[in-house]
Structures are given as C-alpha cells and as structure tokens.
Amino acid sequence: MVRPIVDDLRRGSSAWPVPIADFPPVPLVPSRPLTRSEKGNRVAANDRYRMIHSLGEGNYAQVFKAAHRASTAEVAFKRAKQFRDARDRIKREIEAQKQLAHPNIMPISDHDETYNWYAMPLALGSLADLRSTLADDDLETILLDVASGLKVAHEQRLIHRDISPGNIFAMPTGTGSRKRWLVGDWGMVKQPPDVASRPLTKTGARMGTPGFDAPELDVDPSAATPAADVFSLGRIAAWFVSGKPAHSAFPPLPDGDFIHWRPFVRACTDPEVGLRVQTMDALHELLIQVPENRDVPLLLQAARLIEELLYGESENLGALISLAETYPNDLALYIDYVARIPSSQLPAWTVKNPERAASVASVMARHLLAGPWDDRDPEYASTPLTFVLTVMRSLVDMQALGPAQDVASYYFPADAHRGDTGQRARTLEWLAELDDAAARPISRMIAPKPELVEYYREPGWHPASVVLQAVLTPPPPSADAAGNAGPLANRTTAVVE
C-alpha cells in the first residue's frame, strides 16, 4: 500500500527547522476529492521521495527536505498548494527553470507530469536566511551571480518579477566559504506573449515582494521589462548594506562605510522605469565599478562617467546625477563634471524627475554663488549656468512652477554674481519668451532685489509678459525735474505681488 506523504513526514527527522508536531497545516486531505491525476501524483512523489521535514511554506507551496529513494540523495521537494493559482505558479516555475539551464538558476531535477510538484537541489538557505552569516564583501559576488542568471533569462524574454532575498539561494561550491547563488521561485515569471499561459494577476493586483518590487509592477505587471528585476537587485543591495527593511516609506540608501554603493543603488532603483538602469549588462558594468570606486577618488569616478556619457553611454547620466546627490557639498564635482552633462539630455531627464532635477540645479547654482572660482576660466561659468538654466526652462515648460521658482531663487543671483554677458543675454532671451502665468512666480525671485533688477534691466527689451516688462524695462524719463519717478515708482512691487 502506498502511504500518503504525511506518513513519511511523521516518520521524518524532528530536527531543524520545524518539529513535525508543529507542522504548518498541510492540506493532506483536500477539501474536495482528489482528481485521478492528483492521486497519481501523490503516489509518484511518494514512490520516489521520502519526506524528511518541512523547510517552510509560502503562499503557494510547501517545501520539504526529502530523500530520493533510489539514490538517497537529499533534495528540496516543492509542492503546490491545492488551488488553481498555486498550481499555475508551480507550472510556470518548472517551465522557466527547465528552460533556463544556467549555473545561477535553480535547476529542476524532477517533476511530475501534471506540474504539481518538483524536486531541486537542496540549498544551504536563502539570502534572507543567511544574511547574518555573510561578510559585507559578499554582496558583489551575490549580485554578480544573480545578474548573470537573470541576463540569460532576459535574453529568453523571461522577467522574474519577484527577485527578493527569500528567492535567492546559496549552494556550496567546494571552495572555502565561497557560495554559488541561484535564482529560484520563478512562479511569477513574465513569459513572452507567444507562450504566456493564464495571466497570474489582474492589472492592478499586487505582484512581487514588498520593498523589493518595482513600482511599475503595481500598475501593470504584464508590462514589466528587465528594469523591474534591476530595481529589485538595487533594493537588495540597499537592504544588504543598511541592514534595514526595504519596505519603509523612505527606503534605505547606503551611507557611511557603504557610501560607495549609493550611486549603484540610486541608478538601479529610480522609481521612473525609463530613468533606471535598463539591462543586466548595464547593471554589471556599474557593479564592477563599485569596489573600484571605493578606492577611486570621487572626481576620477565623475570624470570617467562624464567622458563615457559624452561618448554616448547615456545610462551614465543617472549614475552621475546620483553621485552629485550623494556629495552635494563637492563644488568641483558639480562645476567641473555634472555641469558638462549635454544640454540635449537634460530636458528629458528633468521632465521625468522634476524634484530631483530642481534640487541638483539649485545646488549647482549655490556653488556658483558661494564657492571659490579658483583658477577656472571666467568664461567657463556659462557651462554650469547653462545647466541650471536648462533645468529651469524644462521645469517651466512642464508647468512645474514651484520647483522652477526654487531653482530661480539661486539661478538669478548666481548669474549676476558671475557677470557673464553672454549668459545674461541667454537669460533675458528665455525670460522674454515667458507668458504671464510662468513669469509671475519667476519674476518674484528678481523683483524684490534691486541689484538683480539692475543687472537684468534692459532698454528696448520686449518680453511677452507684462509682469516682466514692468520689472525689467527701465521707467520712462520722469516729467518731474526733481527726479521723482511719479506714480510708477512702486510699480514693480505692485505688479509682481
């Protein structure tokens, strides 16, 4: 007589992790009669494997440590819970993991014909389980391993969509403490449209693991791109070095001894999918720079990024901005490197990220205003000023007038402080195009400051906005010989306020 799996479980070891008596409720007798194929599967599973103890239970499956009867090899045995979505997920998992034969993808060593269960190598544990036993330096190896597995998956148009520390497993390598890291739990994988089976989630339904899942998965998981898995790896890096949970309102960013991880995390976890690192190849490039960057001076990192950006590596834009956000007090970083981001690339970036753009542009203008110019060419000031003006112009164009006003409060004093006539002309040219709705908040950053009004006041200048005209065109000659400006004397304040 074939014993049901439970008998094997009861006879198994009561050692780690869960004593048999405390077993989570295993639906040994499903609430409905077993179908013929399910009965057959249990028989097949039990014929082939002896369950030793539970390794744990997720929402969709139970996992057991089991022994393969014929070879006595120990395996992890994963069985779908008895509801349709769970069976769909296990089926996806088996199909994807079989398709992806790669050292960093959890292999399927055996499964039943109807995809109710499968066996796989027994791992040392998941990254979540093992974090406390790992050295900080292990992070790079883990990410390199996982990224190489995901790269192969992405090439086959499979997006995992649920990369988290609980779904990355360690296998021994036989070489000291070095572990090989494997991506498992492919039950939420996005398959190519031509092979996709029944959708797992409706649009708007939650997918992934809170704190590690990309924001776009909340909107439409079926539209996921490789950048969704990139996001999760960025969050894993932040979680690993910060030791803080990833699912907080303010997700952790590396700091202190791990600050060299910060640009990587920022570039991989941009909430805007289009601004994020897009591919595992690009992630790999950034990743191998992280340990190098720990010892490479900041400005050399910036120099590399801008040189490559100028040669067409557009993904460096995000990394360079991240570096600037990490080191806001570094004048040379801003003036000599960030300022050289091509003006052609800034508007698109600003439109997608107005608050961050405003913040970086404001810091740039503050450096121009307050910092020493040292032996830089005075004319070079127009490069950082143009950076700030381009961001401000883009913010106005997209009607982000609040952030634009924030930038303006630093830009105009910085422009006047540098006193470059060409830049002044460019500023006036831009101001001349503004309509009243935009000119009103912007002019508030000029009108109350006589030295700025003086700097920009231009005879014969013709702005579109009457507000700006009132502020910046010189008053007509007074009829009053004593020099009183007459009724227009206070017009600036009157019009602007």
Which residues belong to the annotated binding site for ATP?
A: 78
* Nearer Cβ to ligand ATP (120/470): 120
* Nearer Cβ to ligand ATP (82/383): 82
CB of 54 to ligand ATP, least distance (A): 8
* Nearer Cβ to ligand ATP (207/414): 207
* Nearer Cβ to ligand ATP (208/252): 208
* Nearer Cβ to ligand ATP (99/126): 126
Interface with ligand ATP (CB under 6 A), residue total: 18
Assess 122 for contact with ligand ATP (CB under 6 A).
yes
CB of 452 to ligand ATP, least distance (A): 59
Q: What is the distance between the alpha carbons of residues 196 and 272, in angstroms, rounded to a whole number? A: 26
Per DSSP, 15 falls in state: -
Nearest alpha carbon to residue 417 among 381, 380, 388, 468 = 381
Q: What is the distance between the alpha carbons of residues 120 and 105, in angstroms, rounded to a whole number? A: 11
Assess 169 for contact with ligand ATP (CB under 6 A).
yes
> In a 10 Å sphere around its CB, with 0-12 CB exposed, 13-18 middle and 19+ buried, how is residue 133 labelled?
exposed
Give the x-and-dash track for 407-446 against ligand ATP (CB under 6 A).
----------------------------------------
CA distances from 212 to 91, 241, 364 (A): 24, 14, 32
Assess 76 for contact with ligand ATP (CB under 6 A).
yes
CA 254 to the chain's CA centroid: 13
CB of 55 to ligand ATP, least distance (A): 4
C-alpha torsion 477→482→487→489, nearest 10: 80
CB of 15 to ligand ATP, least distance (A): 14
Helix (H) or strand (E) holding 120: strand 117-121
Assess 166 for contact with ligand ATP (CB under 6 A).
yes
Query: Within a 10 A sphere around the Cβ of 115, how many other Cβ atoms?
Result: 18
Residue 252 and residue 238 in contact, taking contact as beta carbons nearer than 8 Å: yes
Residues with Cβ < 8 Å from 127, sequence gap 6 or more? Answer: 142, 165, 166, 168, 169, 170, 181, 236
> What radius of gyration, in Å, describes the C-alpha atoms of the chain?
31
For residue 328 the two structure tokens come to 């806001």
CB of 140 to ligand ATP, least distance (A): 23
Helices 354-370 and 382-397: crossing angle, nearest 10°?
150
Which of 126, 232, 326, 362 lies at the binding interface for ligand ATP (CB under 6 A)? 126
Assess 117 for contact with ligand ATP (CB under 6 A).
no
CB of 128 to ligand ATP, least distance (A): 7
CB of 84 to ligand ATP, least distance (A): 15
* Nearer Cβ to ligand ATP (93/330): 93
* Nearer Cβ to ligand ATP (167/322): 167
* Nearer Cβ to ligand ATP (169/334): 169
* Nearer Cβ to ligand ATP (123/439): 123
The piece of 97-105, 182-190, 348-356, 450-458 that touches ligand ATP (CB under 6 A) is 182-190
Q: Which of residues 44-63 bind ligand ATP (CB under 6 A)?
A: 55-61, 63
CB of 332 to ligand ATP, least distance (A): 47
Residue 411 and residue 392 in contact, taking contact as beta carbons nearer than 8 Å: yes
* Nearer Cβ to ligand ATP (188/321): 188
* Nearer Cβ to ligand ATP (74/313): 74
Assess 132 for contact with ligand ATP (CB under 6 A).
no
CB of 360 to ligand ATP, least distance (A): 38
Length of the chain (residues): 497
Query: Nearest 5 degrees, angle CA 240-CA 243-CA 249?
Result: 100
Nearest alpha carbon to residue 338 among 312, 370, 361, 366 = 361
Residue 365 and residue 414 in contact, taking contact as beta carbons nearer than 8 Å: yes
CB of 62 to ligand ATP, least distance (A): 7
Residues with Cβ < 8 Å from 472, sequence gap 6 or more? Answer: 428, 431, 446, 453, 456, 457, 458, 461, 463
Scan for tokens 């995992």, then name that residue: 160
Q: What is the distance between the alpha carbons of residues 370 and 388, in angstroms, rounded to a whole number? A: 15
Assess 67 for contact with ligand ATP (CB under 6 A).
no
Scan for tokens 């949970």, then name that residue: 245
Nearest alpha carbon to residue 253 among 267, 265, 240, 243 = 265
Q: Which of residues 185-224 bind ligand ATP (CB under 6 A)?
A: 185, 187
CB of 177 to ligand ATP, least distance (A): 18
The residue nearest ligand ATP at its CB is 58
- Helices (H) and strands (E) counted in the chain, each on its own, are 21, 8
Assess 95 for contact with ligand ATP (CB under 6 A).
no
Per DSSP, 233 falls in state: H
Residues that bind ligand ATP (CB under 6 A): 55-61, 63, 76, 120, 122-123, 126, 166, 169, 184-185, 187
